[in-house]
């Protein structure tokens, strides 16, 4: 009976330790993942505008601005990456900022801007994800 109790206590402690390790790992990744999922959201909104032929500059500029602002957190939320990573992130901020300042005037221009944006996401993912 005593041995069984000790075994159960051991199992319980082991489970608690594993849970708390998993939890702190999850917490640590919350910011970088949040940044990426926010980027994903605004890219999705831009694609939705384009698909529904709703390509007014004023509408897309909002999301390009949010992409640029959110992307400013890419490098700080990945502090252990090499300098080239921060450079790719910086270029992404710059390109999105330019699209926000001079937002595409029609669907053709929006298509081009979206292509550039999607390729920039993929280029970094190819190298670092
Ligand atoms: C400068 C590099 C860089 C750029 C630019 C970049 N990403 Fe990422 N992305 C990463 C890295 C590294 C990961 C994997 C680690 C992580 O989630 O932090 C990732 C992961 C993701 C994930 C998975 C997140 C999760 O919950 O696991 C999504 C979604 C994503 N990126 C979307 C995007 C989109 C959309 C863009 C462009 C608008 C983009 N990323 C631009 C580096 C980048």
Angle between helices 57-71 and 83-101 (to 10 degrees): 160
74-110: burial string, b at 16+ Cβ within 10 Å, e else = bbebbeebeeebeebbeebbebbbebbeebbeebebb
Domains of the chain: 30-128 (1.20.120.10)
- Ligand 1 centroid distance, CA of 64 (Å): 16
- Ligand 1 centroid distance, CA of 121 (Å): 7
Closest residue by CA, ligand 1 atom 36 = 121
Q: Percent of the chain at pLDDT above 90? A: 78
Which residues have a Cβ under 8 Å from the Cβ of 78 and sit 6 or more positions away? 32, 85, 89, 128
Mean confidence (pLDDT) of the chain = 93
Instruction: Flag whether pLDDT at 50 surpasses 70.
Output: yes
Q: What's the pLDDT tens digit per position in 104-125?
A: 999 999 999 999 999 999 999 9
Closest atom of ligand 1 to 77 CA is 18
- Ligand 1 centroid distance, CA of 3 (Å): 49
pLDDT-derived band at 6 (thresholds 50, 70, 90) equals: confident
| Phi, psi (rounded to 5 degrees) for 104 | -55, 135
Token pair recorded at residue 88: 């790719």
Higher pLDDT, 78 or 16: 78
Would you tell me how many other CB atoms lie within 10 Å of the CB of residue 46? 25
């Amino acid at each position: 009976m005593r041995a069984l109790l000790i075994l159960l206590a051991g199992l319980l402690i082991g489970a608690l330790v594993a849970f708390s390790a998993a939890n702190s790992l999850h917490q640590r990744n919350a910011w970088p993942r949040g940044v990426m999922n926010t980027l994903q959201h605004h890219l999705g909104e831009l694609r939705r505008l384009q698909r529904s032929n709703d390509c007014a500059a004023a509408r897309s500029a909002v999301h390009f601005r949010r992409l640029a602002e959110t992307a400013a957190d890419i490098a700080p939320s990945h502090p252990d990456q090499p300098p080239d990573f921060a450079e790719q992130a910086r270029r992404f901020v710059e390109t999105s900022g330019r699209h926000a300042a001079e937002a595409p005037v029609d669907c053709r221009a929006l298509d081009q801007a979206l292509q550039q944006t999607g390729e920039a996401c993929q280029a970094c993912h190819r190298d670092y994800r």
